Structure 1
Amino acid sequence: MNRPAPDLSRLSLNQETVRQLPLPELAAALERTGVPGVGLWRGPVQQYGPEAAARLARDHGLTVTSLCRGGFFTAAGPAERRRALDDNRAALDEAAALGTGTLVLVSGGLPDGSRDLPGARERVADALAELGPYAQERGVRLAIEPLHPMYASDRCVVSTLGQALDLAERFPAERVGVVVDTYHLWWDERVPEQIARAGAAGRIAAFQVADWVTPLPEGVLLGRGQLGDGSVDLRGFRRQVDAAGYQGPVEVEIFNPRLWERDGAEVLAQTAQRYAEHVLG
């Protein structure tokens, strides 16, 4: 007896999961596989052109669920901070052109020689205050993504969902939300209550999934695992996020050179299967 096809209606594939596929090939493969959403990255979008990328997505029936990434707000010098703000305004323009309502923010690490985590987080808040009105005018929400604490020194001083919410709640929910990413948050026993807090306030802007596998590679950035290969209760996370009121896309974002070495369409098909097995239900 044939099994019914899995419900992929909420599935989105972040393009870094299959970065070996150029945008036109990725769009066509997503349409063939029945995946309706795609998360895009600024580098490939800039090369292809935001308006052209938006047309490509529409032509293949795809929704752009997010644009990665803005952020890197923590520089202490005024010139560096101005450059960061200008770059984020450009990112918001690109997100608006793509038709996505979510710009994912990686906040930035400590400046060279600094040990002042609270000060760095305050600079993130200052940037959100300046960018919020610009974002709202373009119909894009700033989405703070907390990253695992191992990235606090060099990439992201926001390490927990609670810290992200503490920042986001200084601003209207339609301007600033948070990203719930299983890879970065699975270890924190406070996550269930923080997901509920985020949902009650309408702050969940994006939900991203990847698995945690060990040993981590040198440099740790490219160690995300395929769904079902690691330690994360992906289905449990999805149920918590749903219970908090989030019904948006579930975006698979995996950085893994072993996946990039394989045929991209094959990885996409496997990812859809793993989503059905480990996230749905």
Structure 2
Amino acid sequence: MISVFGSANMDLVAYVAEAPKRGETVTGHRFRTVPGGKGANQAIAAARAGAHVAFLGAVGDDGFGAEMRATLAQAGIDVRGLREVPGPSGIAHIVVDDEGGNSIIVVPGANGTIAGPSGEDLAAIARSDALLLQLELPMEAVVAAAQAAQVSGVPVYLTPAPARPLPDELLDAVTTIVPNEHEAAAITGAAGAEAALDALLERVEEALITLGSEGALYGSRSGERLRVPAVKVEAVDTTAAGDTFVGAFAVARSEGMSVADALGFASTAAALSVQREGASTSMPTRHEIEAALP
């Protein structure tokens, strides 16, 4: 089982020819709402990639919260750890341009009320094969969850987004950190993916930097280093491609795949996702991933 301790947001997605600059108003050509949030996205990605998944988080007592709970449950995810709190659910305002690029504003809502894992959360984490974390919950809650997993010998995958300074007590409990190239640069201050990887490996056992159309770069303290090219496709919407990659990679590694095979599996999953619109709606099934593997 994979546990995901993270955010659930309703994505409010506007599609435009070109994203507006500061002070500019543009006319969009479409709008949709899609259940998302980095935590929920990774949970759905892992479930569709073949894992039994437990989601641990919070939604508000509004319509968005009910819809997000239903979406996770329909994906086969255990939602007993998804608490409901008074007030609004988290939202993400996403602008997607015609080239498939995006910019995102997150308002935490219910996610910001989580002070730490509950007793039930701790029990779920302890019996997991892996724990997936992101930074859309309060930092103290993320640290507590990571430390609980470490005590139980559960591998911890951290997506450090939104990028911010990372306390040592968090990184000491992380097995694999998975930033994109911008997050890696912001965290380390290093110029270039190779230098950022070296800096990350001074603080964690494994680092995996996703590089968009340039693929991914992996390194470990044992000396293993791999660069995997991206699967070349025509991108329609890159929203949640990184979450798809992380969810699929964690599933593959939990099943005992080698790092190289897991990277190929995750890259294929991400490539499939960017050819579809939306976040959770774009994520491929295990059958689709395996059928597309080179």
Relative to the length of structure 2, the TM-score reads: 0.40
Structure with greater helix share of residues = 1
Structure with greater strand share of residues = 2
Relative to the length of structure 1, the TM-score reads: 0.41
